[in-house]
Structure 1
Amino acid sequence: MALLVMMLRKMVKNKWLELSLLLGLVISVGLASSMPIYTNAILHRLLIKDLELLQTDSEQYPGVMWTSVYSTSELGAEETVKRMREADRYMKETMLPRLDLPIKSYMIERATDRFKMSPVDPDRVDPEVNRVADIVGMSDLEAHAVLKDGQWPKKEPVNGTYEVLVVEEALTNFKMVVGNEFVISDEGANPLRFKVVGVIDRKAYDDLYWYNYLSSYRGSFLLPFETFEQSFMEEKLAFVRSSIWYTAVDYNAMELSSIGKFAFAYNGAEAFLDERFDNVSMKAPALQTMAGYYAKEEKLRVMLWSLNVPVMIMLAYYLFMVSNLITDRQKTEIAVLRSRGASRLQIVASYFVEGLLLGALALAIGPLLGLQLTKMLGASNGFLEFVQRAALKVKLTEDAYQYGLVAVLCSIVMTILPVLFATRATIVGHKQQMARQHKHSFWHKYFIDIALVGVALYGLQSFRRRMGDLQALGLDASDLQIDPLLFLVPALFILGSAFLLLRIYPFLIRLLYAAGRKWWPPSLYSTLLQVGRSTTQYQAIMVFLSVTLATGMFSASAARTINKNASEKILYANGADIAVKIKWEDDAPIAGAGEDMDEADSGDEEAPAAPVTPTVPIPVVKKKVQYSEPPFLPMTQLPGVEHAAKVFVKKDASVTVGKEKETITMMGIDTDDFGYTSWLRNGLLDHHFYDYLNLMASSPSAVLISRSIADRFHLKPGDTLYAGWNGVESAMFNIYGIIDYWPSWNPNPNFNDKTPSSGSAAGNAKAAPKIKYPMLVVGHLSYIQNNMALEPYEVWLKMKLEASSQQLYQAMEDKDIPVSELTDSKQMLIRVKNDPFQLAINGVMTLGFLISIIISFCGFLLYWVLSLSGRVLQLGILRAMGISFRQLMVMLVGEQLMTSGAAIAIGILLGNVTSRLFVPMFQLSLQSSSQVPPFQVTFDPRDQMQLYMIVGIMLAIGLFILGSMLSRIKIHQAVKLGED
């Protein structure tokens, strides 16, 4: 109890340190608890978006579960009705509760056998028409239908005649009008009479009640459901052949837990009905969409952990540093307690209880913080970019608190470690340690820094080996098992490298001191001595600043790189902002008549000189299709269009060099328009993209060829080749340049298209497959059209920055431009940004960057305020010796530059190096190994400017606070504090 009271008093005494420790705990718990919240929210958004897309593509509501049974005569009417009643109870009492979703529509439809219907009054209808109809009962029909003609039928038969409804198509099908009466005329069937009294239509065309088109009831008489149940289910006047149970749920209310419930309800209903009926049919369009979600959840969870590992390590070090500061201030008390008989276990237990109290507070506050962080992440549209997007559906779950609890326990361990080290020393040992500030730290003494760097470099080598396997075997990233530990190595590299550089840094300070010891002014002389002799004292803050800033830069670079490579992949593949294919008019024969026309033509042109036996086929000469080019000017006048270009692409062309021939892709362009319209990243070609276009423009027959063609035929600029395709005569081209990349052309080999190698060893049955690289020839469109053929080309459009895709689409529709295919890069980029993994990357990287800055700012102020308060005696003595306030400020500024400034420089250096080495690792999780253009690490100057501004503000505020504290130091009070 005495230790507990002492612990509480100590916490009150060190309230600012304890609050700083609590801050780190709350952020750690909030970050950990945000992972399951964010994962569920992102996957929920993806689920809803995919279901909306399913509805758009299939024009069918996704939240539908349709179940149908068909009974056989062998089962008998009595048993059929009994089993259908059991199914009714199961659907309502078991299946619907299992779905656990808002029900938007639920209906039962039953139908009898189909009977031959004869008119009661043959004079009013055509008696020769064959009328076969079934009797159908649909629950709640009147609430969802509207009368177009006639009246609603009565619930009871009128003079033995049942009143029924029909749809409008039934009037035509049966050649009848409202008021006609019919009687069942099949042998052995009850001669029931039916009178058509009304024609119905849907009340609303977006009503989910109608799972079928009305035309599907054109052969049915619709009886009121209550009448159907009484007459056919209870009285069994006719055999009930089928029953349908139709349910529509609100899919917008679905969550990840709904996937399992939906599948469980579906499988349960299927098993129940299979036991009772031989013919069962079920449909649930959403199930196929839901099927892959557990794998997506697992992959996203691994991705989130991987992305958060550097931030977690940074927070762990922050907790260790603050705890170490607390312990350092209390080492004398700990040593006194040990000297007076307190055991290490008792002291550690008191600090453990302190950690539990702070951890309980963090566990209460942290998940709420995680909830707010998740909402912020949902608004991220890119790195440090936020938009007014529909809010993520977030809520606290049991998983969030479980993650938070694990974070609390790990944090307590980090805060207990300094106490364990401190309890090993007695009061004498503690005084000895205070006099030996130059001793090596734990990390340096046991070479943990070198070990961490070694592990990180091994992980990097493992990554490069995996990437080599991907490229050599032609695999996608999903074909290899991804090791999440590969994403831990950047954090290990940052931490290990920071300690490794700080192992060298004291020698640089001593070298600087020795180089100018005869010339340094007293203030700088004192600063160099202070920093050079107290390396362990400054090590914590220097490592902390280095790690946090490097982590922030790594997060920024990773997010920018992933976003930019994803957008560049789309722009390169499409070639421009928008690519449009327009339908051309032609004289090609109509399908089905082409063979006759071809045979007639061939008979006229090539009549045989002698009789031909029927077994010998007559050669067919296909007529060359003539195309009519649509006007190009309207495309350039569309709203928002800045430039337009004609781009002809022939993928089944061929090139001939000497006697050798290869299949190629041929592209025809107008060099000027193509240069203004198309997109290509700088640095992909040996010279600028425009230089190649200018080179081509000097000659009509000039072409650019891919390096694969140059290597295959040993060609060089100045050589000639022939190119063409089936049905046209090849033309000669002059080679003006060799290219590795070109807009919309993928130079990577298709590993599914492998041809056997022509090995030198004859009879080698297992020759190694030879990879076939794509080939490209780029020439002038006018030259190709004049010398080969006029065929349909694409139109590429470059849009203005503020242009709207919707306005462009509407203008195309208004001008009747016959678009057969359109690819919009802008809309594809929007879909990529809404991808759950892209959202996770942008959100988590933004969060990591912001947390790095906040934590580094808090740690910086906390450390220097505590450091200054611990050196009041030293600074007071310096003032008593005649050092002016200005000189003391110069000393503090120099000390800041040599510690915090050096740490910031190290952090920026490590951030750049780590990004260049480890950001390409994200190719393994993003399946970017085959990306064109190649994956490239990106640094945005805006991020570095923001970082420099924040660091500058942080240093300025820190110096202002330290100066304020320094100005309030009273010499006589400082000297009275103790002995030097």
Structure 2
Amino acid sequence: MYVLALWTMILRKMANNKWLQLNLWIGLTVCVALFSSMPLYSKAILQRTLLKELQSVQTANGVYPGYLRISTTVSASSMDAKTTEAVESADRFVKTIPERTGLEALSFYQQRFTEKMKVYGADASAQEKQSQRTLGGFMSLSDLEKRVRLIEGRMPADRSDGIVEALVTQKFQLAAKRKLGEELTVESQDEGGTRFRVIPVGIVETNPDADRYLPFLTTENEDGFLIPFEQFEREFTKGGKARVSGMEWRLALNYEQLSLDKVDAFTQADREVRRYFKGKLGVADIKIPASQTIASYQGKQGKLDTVTLSLYSPVMLMLAFYLYMTANLIIDRQKTEISVLRSRGASRLQIMAAYLLESLLLGLSALAAGPFLGVWFTKLLGASNGFLEFVQRSALKVSMTSSAYQVAAAAVAGAIILILIPAFLATRVSIVSHKQRSARLTRLSIWHRTGLDLVLVSLAVYLLHNFNQRQADLRRLALGSADLQVDPLLFLTPALFALGGGLLVLRVYPWFVRLVYWLGRNGWPPALYHTLVQISRSSGQYLTIQVFLIMTVATGLFSANAARTINDNMDSKVRYAVGTDIALTTKWESDAPPPVSPGAGGQPQSEPATTTVQKRVQYTEPPFEPFEELDGVQATARVFKKQEARFSAGGNEKTGKTALFGIDTKDFGNTAWMKEGLLQHPINSYLNLIAPNPEAVLISRSLAEDAKLKPGDPIRVYWDGLDGATFTVYGIIDYWPSWSPLPSSQGSGKPEQPHLVVGHLGTIQNRLAVEPYEVWLKLADGTSSEQIYVQLQEKKLQVTGLRDATQELVQSRNDPFRLAMNGVMTLGFAISMLVSFIGFLLFWVLTLSGRTLQYGVLRAMGISFPQMIGMLVSEQLLTSGAAVLIGVFIGNVTSMKFVPLFEMSFASKEQVPPFTITYQLSDYLQLYGIIGFTLATGLLILGYRLTRIRIAQALKLGEE
């Protein structure tokens, strides 16, 4: 009976506060969705990235991503019983590989090879036998009939008369100098070797339609006789008629089945395969092209989960504050009821049990809907290409997992505890003390009484100091990481700083309001006078919404600035390293001698070798016009780079190494990409400076300081085999497109500072030498890299090297850590704005409802409706508007102090251009627009509700 009464009271209480309960449920559901989306997103994005990288293996290596090849020699001199058993054991082991990796085998075949033997015609004369140099062995292939295609002849038959029928390639038939059907003799090269009678009966080639995953390529081993696998096993593997010299197994595993859960199993199977075949039969060669890619994903999900959690931390703090605020509003409306229950004998345990059941009811319903909303969040994250940028990308494959529900359940448990805190505090208040506190709300909040604002700010400053110390260590030791690594505290600390800073400012804000009131107490209009009195006497009731808005604005600005900064620096790093949209090198004709193979030529001869080193290679410059005629190319430039040039300069003839760049100033200025602010003047100013004088050069600041050079000084540049040429220094630069000014460590010695000289290409070619240069292409808007590639192929331009900034940017933006950052920040920003809007309306609607009597009395006293609206507007400006301004101030301070710490997330020794903070006006405008829309909408709704207040009803309510 007690339980039934308790449930009746809970449901009735929830029905009386249905709108508050709905807002609380929305907050819980969003909280559950966010937490459940973390493991879903990290798994889905890593899964997609893994499959994309595996597909790139096919592009790079020309094989199916699930390709696996095991090749081994057989060191045994004869096929004895032990060797035969080892071969059969290896066959059985290979068949277990799909099970070990957890992947289905789409295709499989194996091969056997005998040692190479001498091949000649059965009717060959003694002279022909002596002159014949053709070698070939017997080969076997499983599923032979399915994997080859006959060009001529027929498939071999298994004969019992001692003659072996075989298939051959056209190349081997020509080498054997016999037609199909003519008998050949195959003679072992061992002393007293066995002879075999062989008749080629068919010429074969690869059957491209037989297996799209694992085609058998006859061109890989053309010198031999291909016979059925069963016949080879009987005659050689088990029969021992000739020594089996090699074996091979090939599999095509279904890589699309490779989930992150199977990465460890695949890596373990890889190790087991290599360990098994190491010395088992002979020298083994294991080729699994995707092995390194797959192994790199071990532990990545754990790291990405940590990164995602750190990225989510500000919005989680926001949601926690929202839940607390909503729960506090609900409890505030029920404090009278709670105090009455306490005065009538209800224990605190009974009251808390009722609120616990109510929270569990909300939590379970949020747990039922939240994970599915988390799936939608995850798909939204997958479409993010940058901060607040979305692209048409294939949807992430998301499926609910037990870990997602576990995280969601933990989030619900934490949220319930947070919601119960206001209820627990309310049960400690008697009805008398509740009425006393309700009379005037000037008492300091618990946050200010406990000094939480000072604690949070001090903690954030302490962590900031530690971060700066780590930053200094990174610069000093030139440490870095290959991937974007985000410290979990890197996002939580700014959120704590924003919360503490907001509370600290709000500690003194009421005194500011009182100062404004005191300055104009004799001249303020009635609406503003009433508002100032109301805020100064009841400042505590506005604290929650003010902190909420400050957190929203501050963390929103910080997230936007952090995301823009990371994206801009990563993109700038790629574009600076390439120097333009596409940089390529082409084949140049020269008189350079062909490379000498190692060990050739017998004893070394000192004098000819010296002559070869001193001789300068003469190059023939290919035509440049075909590049200028490419459709879609806006500008082209020739950029000569000599990394191993040398210089001599200064009064003491300082010498050393330097990089030498040769450019055409006009073309280079139209083609190169350079980030603003890296040079003291725009790059075109430097190009215009040296343009009139062919002997003018620009030098790096490191070279100027090392050789004590200044503008106007001469400098001599040369490289091996040249006399050199003298140039005049016109300017000193710190950076130049595609040149890194960062020191490079030479072994264990002192880091070497790089030098640079930039001069005219024509002068370098005329006075030094004509050598290969890079071709830089700047693409017109709307031109894709693929269009350029097609034209290069059509024009048969021999490209020997290429760097495409667009493709490298795409690869960088598809990095799972960067995708996580952009997706989570975008989603967090959107959720923060939405929750802020709901919380703002909820607070002010409830506040207005609680002042119905007050507004009715004011109207009865003769206050006009426009004056009432003025009171409402001034109250909004002095509370919510002030909170927004404080949030903007704290957000900018947080960005200035904490965004630079993201430099730790980059490889410091490779970060060129240097890390810079990026602010984008559109982010501020979007934020201000959303906040402005929230305030305007709130005022309209509050104004409308104000018009619905009836004076008589309000006064009657006050009497009751």
Contiguous gaps of at least 5 residues in structure 1: 594-613, 756-768
Deviation at 1:414, TM superposition (A): 1.6
2:916 to 915, 928, 936: 936
Matched, 1:260 2:264: yes
| Alpha-carbon spacing, 1:670–1:880, altered in 2? closer, same or farther (3 Å) | same
Q: Could you say which residue in structure 1 is the equivalent of 2:603?
A: none
Q: Is the 8 A contact 1:655 1:664 kept in 2?
A: no
Q: 1:748-787 counterparts in 2 under 5 A?
A: 748-752=742-746, 769=750, 771-787=751-767
Q: Could you say which residue in structure 1 is the equivalent of 2:602?
A: none
Q: 1:668-707 counterparts in 2 under 5 A?
A: 668-707=662-701
Post-superposition Cα deviations, 1:717-742, rounded to whole Å, max 9, x if no partner, equal 34444333344444443333332222
Matched, 1:333 2:333: no
Query: Residue 62 of structure 1 aligns to a residue in which SS?
Result: coil
CA RMSD of aligned residues (A): 3.4
Query: Residue 709 of structure 2 aligns to a residue in which SS?
Result: coil
Q: Is the 8 A contact 2:37 2:375 kept in 1?
A: yes
1:570 to 565, 571, 574: 574
2:637 to 624, 645, 660: 645
Q: Could you say which residue in structure 1 is the equivalent of 2:894?
A: 914
Matched, 1:405 2:409: yes
Q: C-alpha distance in 2, partners of 1:579/1:938?
A: 27
Matched, 1:796 2:800: no
Deviation at 1:617, TM superposition (A): 11
Q: Is the 8 A contact 1:561 1:938 kept in 2?
A: yes
**2:701 partner amino acid:** R
Q: Could you say which residue in structure 2 is the equivalent of 1:364?
A: 368
Q: C-alpha distance in 2, partners of 1:250/1:616?
A: 56
| Alpha-carbon spacing, 1:901–1:258, altered in 2? closer, same or farther (3 Å) | same
2:868 to 870, 878, 888: 888
Q: Could you say which residue in structure 2 is the equivalent of 1:179?
A: 181
Deviation at 1:493, TM superposition (A): 0.9
| Alpha-carbon spacing, 1:461–1:139, altered in 2? closer, same or farther (3 Å) | same
1:814 to 794, 797, 805: 794
Matched, 1:741 2:768: no
Q: Could you say which residue in structure 1 is the equivalent of 2:820?
A: 840
Deviation at 1:291, TM superposition (A): 1.9
Q: Could you say which residue in structure 1 is the equivalent of 2:931?
A: 951
Q: Is the 8 A contact 2:54 2:65 kept in 1?
A: yes
Deviation at 1:433, TM superposition (A): 1.6
Post-superposition Cα deviations, 1:528-576, rounded to whole Å, max 9, x if no partner, equal 1122222111111111111112222222111111111111112222222
Matched, 1:139 2:119: no
Matched, 1:923 2:903: yes
Q: C-alpha distance in 1, partners of 2:177/2:183?
A: 12
Matched, 1:170 2:172: yes
- Percentage of identical aligned residues: 48
| Alpha-carbon spacing, 1:443–1:108, altered in 2? closer, same or farther (3 Å) | same
| Alpha-carbon spacing, 1:75–1:196, altered in 2? closer, same or farther (3 Å) | closer
Matched, 1:34 2:34: no
Post-superposition Cα deviations, 1:683-731, rounded to whole Å, max 9, x if no partner, equal 2222333333333335443333322233334433344443333444444
Q: Could you say which residue in structure 1 is the equivalent of 2:207?
A: 203
Higher alpha-carbon deviation: 830-839 or 677-686: 677-686
Post-superposition Cα deviations, 1:32-78, rounded to whole Å, max 9, x if no partner, equal 22122221222222222322233322333331233356666689655
Matched, 1:285 2:277: no
Q: C-alpha distance in 1, partners of 2:460/2:271?
A: 48
**1:650 partner amino acid:** K
Q: Could you say which residue in structure 2 is the equivalent of 1:148?
A: 151
| Alpha-carbon spacing, 1:784–1:133, altered in 2? closer, same or farther (3 Å) | closer
Q: 1:461-610 counterparts in 2 under 5 A?
A: 461-477=465-481, 483-588=487-592
Matched, 1:346 2:350: yes
Q: Is the 8 A contact 1:546 1:907 kept in 2?
A: yes
Higher alpha-carbon deviation: 242-251 or 8-17: 242-251
Q: Is the 8 A contact 1:671 1:694 kept in 2?
A: yes
Q: C-alpha distance in 1, partners of 2:717/2:234?
A: 79
Q: C-alpha distance in 1, partners of 2:613/2:518?
A: 94
Contiguous gaps of at least 5 residues in structure 2: 598-605
Q: C-alpha distance in 1, partners of 2:957/2:426?
A: 24
Q: 1:441-480 counterparts in 2 under 5 A?
A: 441-477=445-481
Q: C-alpha distance in 2, partners of 1:591/1:121?
A: 43
Q: C-alpha distance in 2, partners of 1:309/1:730?
A: 61
Q: Is the 8 A contact 1:459 1:489 kept in 2?
A: yes
2:648 to 636, 655, 665: 655
Deviation at 1:468, TM superposition (A): 1.0
Q: Is the 8 A contact 1:723 1:731 kept in 2?
A: yes
Higher alpha-carbon deviation: 703-712 or 856-865: 703-712
Q: C-alpha distance in 2, partners of 1:805/1:616?
A: 46
Deviation at 1:850, TM superposition (A): 0.9
Deviation at 1:403, TM superposition (A): 1.8
| Alpha-carbon spacing, 1:695–1:89, altered in 2? closer, same or farther (3 Å) | closer
Deviation at 1:386, TM superposition (A): 1.3
Higher alpha-carbon deviation: 25-34 or 535-544: 25-34
Deviation at 1:87, TM superposition (A): 4.8
| Alpha-carbon spacing, 1:313–1:76, altered in 2? closer, same or farther (3 Å) | same
| Alpha-carbon spacing, 1:147–1:816, altered in 2? closer, same or farther (3 Å) | closer
Q: Could you say which residue in structure 1 is the equivalent of 2:839?
A: 859
| Alpha-carbon spacing, 1:662–1:326, altered in 2? closer, same or farther (3 Å) | same
Deviation at 1:585, TM superposition (A): 3.8
Post-superposition Cα deviations, 1:348-392, rounded to whole Å, max 9, x if no partner, equal 233223222222222222221221111111111221111112222
| Alpha-carbon spacing, 1:808–1:910, altered in 2? closer, same or farther (3 Å) | same
Q: Could you say which residue in structure 2 is the equivalent of 1:635?
A: 627
**1:712 partner amino acid:** D
Q: C-alpha distance in 2, partners of 1:219/1:615?
A: 42
2:17 to 5, 14, 20: 14
Q: Could you say which residue in structure 2 is the equivalent of 1:248?
A: 252
Post-superposition Cα deviations, 1:584-607, rounded to whole Å, max 9, x if no partner, equal 4444455569xxxxxxxxxxxxxx
Higher alpha-carbon deviation: 687-696 or 422-431: 687-696
**1:25 partner amino acid:** L
Deviation at 1:950, TM superposition (A): 1.7
Q: Is the 8 A contact 1:95 1:268 kept in 2?
A: no
Q: Is the 8 A contact 2:263 2:298 kept in 1?
A: no
Post-superposition Cα deviations, 1:243-262, rounded to whole Å, max 9, x if no partner, equal 54332112233211222222
With normalisation by structure 2, the TM-score equals: 0.91
| Alpha-carbon spacing, 1:206–1:636, altered in 2? closer, same or farther (3 Å) | farther
Higher alpha-carbon deviation: 248-257 or 722-731: 722-731
2:56 to 49, 53, 56: 53
| Alpha-carbon spacing, 1:693–1:440, altered in 2? closer, same or farther (3 Å) | same
Query: Residue 747 of structure 1 aligns to a residue in which SS?
Result: coil
Post-superposition Cα deviations, 1:411-458, rounded to whole Å, max 9, x if no partner, equal 122212222222221112211221230111111111111111111111
1:96 to 76, 95, 98: 98
Query: Residue 294 of structure 1 aligns to a residue in which SS?
Result: coil
Q: Is the 8 A contact 1:438 1:535 kept in 2?
A: yes
| Alpha-carbon spacing, 1:10–1:175, altered in 2? closer, same or farther (3 Å) | farther
Q: Is the 8 A contact 2:307 2:485 kept in 1?
A: no
Q: C-alpha distance in 1, partners of 2:141/2:193?
A: 22
Q: C-alpha distance in 1, partners of 2:267/2:412?
A: 36
Q: Could you say which residue in structure 2 is the equivalent of 1:766?
A: none
With normalisation by structure 1, the TM-score equals: 0.89
| Alpha-carbon spacing, 1:790–1:275, altered in 2? closer, same or farther (3 Å) | closer
Deviation at 1:861, TM superposition (A): 1.4
Q: Is the 8 A contact 2:155 2:167 kept in 1?
A: yes
Query: Residue 643 of structure 1 aligns to a residue in which SS?
Result: strand
| Alpha-carbon spacing, 1:346–1:929, altered in 2? closer, same or farther (3 Å) | farther
| Alpha-carbon spacing, 1:429–1:655, altered in 2? closer, same or farther (3 Å) | farther
